[in-house]
């Protein structure tokens, strides 16, 4: 059976969920990965009646849901909070904006997201962790190793109590390995796992786009963490270095043609999805392939429909017989 093709709703949160569900069904998707913002999935309202109503809405459009996603609130758990965070956080998490309070309220909301996921009947919550040490990426002024160690210790101190709740709920947290997070490539992902003693509640939402532009082979990430790929995003990117811009993107926003790299609609960038599907087959990943559609230079409805068709053509099951078995005695 082919893996279900779903659409992550985070980039569509300006639309009511009922409107997006109709569109996604028309585009050909089998399900939605619900973002915990907009009206798509509101953690603070997620009692039994709320969750039942959400399921009934999805059922009307013959859509499944395998995961919910708390990228925005999760970001505030480990970050050094500043004014930017107010724009991405719900008012009840932002509160008075006091940084310590925001960190604490964000952590409690992620715990509640695990409880809401259990109530809703999904076993994976995707999201971000934030990072106190991402600003130290370029080591000047020189960064002592003790500061990096302190950043991973802070991550462990703040996320272990959250993961305790995930464990109680039978839900797993899947970090989208991504710039500004505690893990953004293979080595930092290894270090994050070590910081929390490899506990099973914590794994990864594999998204090849964030690895590609850094020069990290996405297939090598899958092979490095075969038992930790808890969810998969289908998202593409392209590097467009022209001798003027650099890989750090020159403070140019997404969609600016002068950038050294950008996101592209799936199949229109440089991610080798063929090899990714083969690697996912090798590790027996059977979960959804969730399109996270971001291409600011393309109409999103055109892109989302095209992306669904692309992923359906792309995916295949591994063979259950060796190709040369017919020659055996």
* pLDDT tens, position by position, 130-167: 999 999 999 999 999 999 999 999 999 999 999 999 99
Q: What is the mean pLDDT of residues 107-132?
A: 98
Write the pLDDT tens digit of every residue in 236-259: 999 999 999 999 999 999 999 999
Write the pLDDT tens digit of every residue in 152-207: 999 999 999 999 999 999 999 999 999 999 999 999 999 999 999 999 999 999 99
Q: Quickly list H helices, the chain.
A: 17-27, 48-60, 71-78, 91-94, 99-120, 145-169, 186-195, 208-212, 218-224, 273-282, 300-314
> Which pLDDT band, with edges at 50, 70 and 90, does 314 fall under?
very high
**Measured at the alpha carbon of residue 321, what is the angle toward residues 316 and 326, in degrees to the nearest 5?**
130
- What angle, 0 to 180 degrees and rounded to 10, lies between the N-to-C axes of helices 17-27 and 300-314? 50
Q: How far is 138 from 155, CA to CA, in rounded Å?
A: 20
Write the pLDDT tens digit of every residue in 273-294: 999 999 999 999 999 999 999 9
Q: What is the mean pLDDT of residues 92-115?
A: 98
pTM, 2 dp: 0.96
What's residue 286's pLDDT?
A: 97
**120-123 LR contacts (CB < 8 Å, sep 24+):** 120/41, 120/46, 120/51, 120/54, 120/55, 120/65, 120/68, 121/51, 121/55, 122/65, 122/66, 122/67, 122/68, 122/171, 123/66, 123/67, 123/170, 123/171, 123/172
Locate tokens 């009307």: which residue? 60
Q: What is the CATH architecture of 5-321?
A: Alpha-Beta Barrel (3.20)
């Amino acid at each position: 059976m082919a893996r279900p093709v779903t659409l992550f709703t985070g980039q569509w949160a300006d639309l009511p969920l009922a409107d997006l569900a109709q569109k996604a069904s028309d585009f050909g998707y089998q399900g939605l990965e619900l973002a915990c913002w907009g009206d798509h999935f509101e953690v603070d309202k997620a009692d039994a009646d709320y969750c039942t109503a959400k399921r009934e809405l999805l059922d009307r459009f013959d859509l499944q849901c395998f995961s919910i996603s708390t990228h925005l609130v999760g970001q505030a758990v480990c970050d050094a909070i500043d004014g930017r965070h107010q724009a991405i956080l719900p008012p009840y998490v932002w509160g008075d904006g006091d940084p310590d309070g925001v960190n604490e309220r964000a952590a409690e909301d992620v715990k509640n997201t695990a409880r809401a996921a259990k109530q809703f009947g999904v076993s994976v919550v995707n999201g971000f962790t934030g990072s106190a040490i991402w600003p130290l990426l370029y080591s000047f002024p020189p960064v002592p190793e003790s500061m990096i160690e302190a950043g991973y210790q802070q991550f462990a101190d703040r996320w272990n109590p959250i993961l305790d709740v995930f464990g109680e709920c039978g839900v797993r947290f899947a970090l989208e390995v991504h710039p500004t997070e505690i893990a953004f490539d293979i080595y930092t992902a290894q270090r994050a796992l070590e910081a929390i003693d490899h506990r099973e509640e914590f794994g990864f939402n594999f998204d090849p786009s964030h690895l590609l532009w850094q020069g990290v082979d996405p297939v090598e990430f899958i092979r490095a963490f075969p038992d930790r790929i808890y969810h998969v995003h289908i998202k593409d990117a392209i590097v467009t270095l022209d001798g003027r811009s650099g890989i750090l993107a020159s403070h140019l926003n997404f969609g600016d043609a002068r950038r050294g790299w950008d996101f592209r609609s799936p199949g229109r960038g440089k991610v080798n999805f063929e090899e990714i599907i083969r690697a996912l087959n090798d590790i027996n990943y059977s979960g959804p392939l969730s399109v996270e559609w971001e291409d600011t230079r393309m109409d999103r409805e055109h892109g989302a429909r095209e992306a669904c068709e692309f992923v359906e053509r792309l995916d295949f099951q591994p063979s259950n017989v060796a190709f040369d078995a017919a020659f055996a005695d």
